[in-house]
Amino acid sequence: MKVTVSRFEKNGTPLEVVLDIDERPFQLYLSDGKTEVPVLRVEERSGCSAYLITKEGAEKLFGQQFPKKYIFLRSEKAKEVEATARQLWSQRQRERAEEAYGRLTDLSEIRMWFSPVHTYVRCEDEDASRYYYFKETSELIRTALDEGDITYFLGRQADDVILRNFGLTWMYVLSFSEYKRLVKFAEKRKKAKEWGKKKKERDLELKLQSAFDLAKELGEPIVIDHYTDDCDEPGRNCDLDIVTQYAFPDGSIKTIRTHTD
């Protein structure tokens, strides 16, 4: 659907700024009522905003020759008009996405491309794919699950595996019903991970507190961790360091590294 966003006059010719709110990607046009020419971009020129169009477009609108390849048509409100047009266009895209999402059934086909780097979803109706639900839930699946989790939950392997620059991507064909159940599974897995993280942090806190209490009681440092690590001095004839962490009576923690060369 086309809407007129603004009107202005140039060289005695009345012009309209026109937007097709259903067109993708976003595109403005200038029209004299008979001919429409695309606006390449809106930018500032000598302190005034302007519409950039091609030489051919300008000749169609004004019926005269122009020597330059691109023509700037100044208009004080061009930037404001563009911003208003983008708001109208974005609102319509959201409406289309919501309408398409509402038409999905449990049997509607969903294609999901999963990788730890980027996961996205495509529906048979492309408008439905743009609904915010799929952006949010695909990100949830990416962060909460791995390929093995998805295979386990669905009970089958991916329909396709693609090698990309950033690694492997697994493509699954699901019904919308399956996808929604997978989202619920991801939500539970996320909560479990968060609980496990909090428990680990709490266990560490209790371990440290016990070590500090004992250090105060004995008046000497207490070992709280002991492990090996790569040598932290490049060029030294040493492969591993022995690292020991101590809790001191004053509540501080000190780390001692011992080289094995």
pLDDT digits (tens, 9 = 90+) for 206-256: 888 888 888 898 999 998 888 888 887 877 778 788 889 999 999 899 998
In this model, does residue 261 exceed pLDDT 80?
no
Nearest of 154, 199, 158, 203 to residue 179 by alpha carbon: 154
Classify residue 223 by its DSSP letter.
E
Domain edges within the chain: 2-99, 105-191, 219-259
SS (H, E, C) 175-220: EHHHHHHHHHHHHHHHHHHHHHHHHHHHHHHHHHHHHHHHHHHHCC
Q: Does residue 260 have a pLDDT over 90?
A: no
**The pLDDT of residue 191:** 95
pTM over the 0.85 mark: no
Mean pLDDT check: name the lowest of 80-84, 133-137, 149-153, 251-255: 251-255
User: Which token pair is 181?
Assistant: 């159940």
Q: How confident is the model at residue 47 (pLDDT cuts 50, 70, 90)?
A: confident
> Does the pLDDT at position 83 exceed 90?
yes
